[in-house]
Amino acid sequence: MRQGELDHLDVGHRLDRLPVTALHVAAVALCALGFSFDLFEIGLGNVLSAVFSAPPHAVAPGDLSLLLSSVYVGAVVGAPLLGWCADRHGRRTTLAAVLLWLSAASLAAALSRGVVELGAARVLAGLALGAYPPLMMSYLTDLLPPRRRGLLTLVCIAVASLGPPAGVFLVRWLTPLQPLGIEAWRWAFYVGTAGSLLAGLMFFRLPESPRWLMARGRLDEAEAACARFERSRSVLSAGAEPAVQAVAGAPDAPSRSPWPRVAAMFLLSPWSTVAFPLLMGAVLMQKGFKLSDTLLFVGLSTFGPFVGTLAASFVVDRIERRLALGACAVLLLGSGLVFVASGTPLWLILSSTLFGLVSSLYTSALTLYAAEVFPTRVRATSLAGAWALNRVGAAVAPLVLLPLLRGGGAVAMFAVIAVALVATLAVLALSPRGQQRRPVA
């Protein structure tokens, strides 16, 4: 083995043996801050769905569909493009650039003079919004001690998931006030501008990933970055020494590639986990609720992912992956049906909160399942392709479902979502077992 490869293994081993340090906590906290504004911006789609469904801003169903889908159109392009940039120019540098770009796009949305300009700004924002989550996961995976990686990553995601309700309640609070004569939804984009700018600038104070630096042959920089973590104060033990799995002991890859089935599930998932929450505001407006009440229901429902992500940390490795995914699909069917059929505030709040909670569990479990069933040599490529299909589904679903909602009502819209969930159950039945608590190939 060449000396460079030995050095690479040494840096990786040193990082893996470290306790959780103050610098690790700072990286997790800053990633959570940036992710909260990423989700804050995505969650504003719920606000725009409600605002542009009612006077004085009501727009044609086709225009509203394009507006709601625009952010996902940008994400389809941004995720693979900026993923390539992160592998070439660094995780931290690209994450900082993503947040600065998001800040500029948010400012453009706040200053937009019509739905066309707003849609264009959302496309530009989508370039960043689609890239931030996988880049963040890559950065944290590089840095965090293996025995604490899942816990800290889920805490990061849980904290960040408070971004969407913060945005919804901010708009609800400012709607009757309209400070300086500026509409509440524009204020939300101004807040996103400032928050993304702050987080982006703060990222430059974090070290670059030592693993990435070593892989690029930048040995001195890798050593310096690793040393920063080693000098940092310990705040939590690393846990038991991670076992090293011999390559010969890893399970064989499936005889048939699981990619078509996994890709199908990624393509189907946005029809429920993205489109239904996105159109929730429009459904409530159609049921006759006032805008302020609609924003209240939507805001309460967005607390579901916070609870769901924390709960997932305790149960995700105790249930077979396909069983967990199937149970989530059934719960999504049930809670969505209750939401569509109900007209009382209590049931609307309970069903929408449960839907948001289960959606977050489903997304986390699907990502884990996909990462485990692909062999290491093609894992990143396979996941990137599946992620791109997921963003395509997220862009297309509102274009199909909103006209159905306007033309045939909530039941017609949910019928399509139900078909997607039933199809997911069928694909799951044909998919390979998950690899929870087992070595991956």
pLDDT along the chain (441 residues), means of 10: 52 85 96 93 82 75 80 83 83 94 95 89 91 82 78 83 84 82 89 96 94 85 93 81 42 64 90 72 68 66 73 72 90 86 75 79 77 58 73 80 77 85 94 61 37
Give 282: exposed, middle or buried? Use CB within 10 Å, 0-12, 13-18, 19+.
Answer: buried
135 plus 204 within the same structural domain: yes
Kindly state whether residues 36 and 163 are assigned to the same domain: yes
Residue 249 domain flag: no
Q: Can you give the pLDDT at residue 194?
A: 96
Identity of the residue numbered 166: A
Closest C-alpha to 330, from 208, 421, 438:
421
Give the residues across from 21 on adjacent strands.
Answer: 234
Listed in sequence order, the DSSP H helices in 131-244 are: 132-143, 146-160, 163-174, 184-203, 210-215, 219-231
Domain with 304 in it: 254-441
Amino acid 1: pLDDT: 45
CATH code, domain with 260 = 1.20.1250.20
Helices (H) and strands (E) in the chain, counts: 19, 2
Look at residue 246 and tell me if it is in a domain. no
State the pLDDT at residue 90: 85
Last residue of a domain, one of 200, 233, 266: 233
Based on the fold, state whether residues 224 and 262 are members of the same structural domain: no
**176 & 279 share domain:** no
245 domain residue, yes or no: no
What is the reported pLDDT for 435? 59
**Final residue belonging to a domain, choices 203, 233, 263:** 233
If asked whether residues 64 and 192 sit together in one domain, one would say yes
What pLDDT sits at residue 246?
38
Distance CA 16, CA 244 (A): 11
Which among 254, 279, 368, 371 is positioned nearest to 315, based on CA atoms? 368
Looking at the structure, do residues 281 and 216 belong to the same domain, yes or no? no
Domain boundary among 233, 268, 299: 233
**Residue 369 near residue 317, CB atoms below 8 Å:** no
Regarding whether 191 and 56 lie in a shared domain, the answer is yes
pLDDT of residue 302: 63
Q: Does 284 lie in the same domain as 213?
A: no
Looking at the fold, whether 181 and 291 belong to one and the same domain comes out as no
* Whether residue 179 is found in the same domain as residue 276: no
Same domain, 86 and 218: yes
Residue 210, token pair as written in the block: 């030592």
**238-266 burial, b for 16+ CB within 10 Å, e for fewer?**
beeeeeeeeeeeeeebeeeebbebbbbbb
Q: Are 287 and 340 in contact (CB under 8 A)?
A: no
* 248 found inside a domain: no
Q: What are phi and psi of 235, to 5 degrees?
A: -120, -15
- Determine, yes or no, domain membership for 3: yes
Q: CA–CA separation, 109 vs 45, rounded Å?
A: 12
- Tell me if 148 is assigned to some domain: yes
Q: Are residues 56 and 101 in the same domain?
A: yes
- Number of domains present in the structure of the chain: 2
- Helix (H) or strand (E) run with residue 216 in it: none
Task: Identify which of 193, 184, 174, 196 has the alpha carbon closest to the alpha carbon of residue 48.
Answer: 184
Contact by Cβ (8 Å): 363, 376: no
- Residue 243 forms part of a structural domain: no
Cα–Cα distance measured from residue 14 to residue 22, given in angstroms and rounded to the nearest whole number: 16
244 domain-assigned: no
Strands (E), 146-264: 234-236
Show the DSSP H helices in 52-162 as ranges: 61-89, 91-110, 115-129, 132-143, 146-160
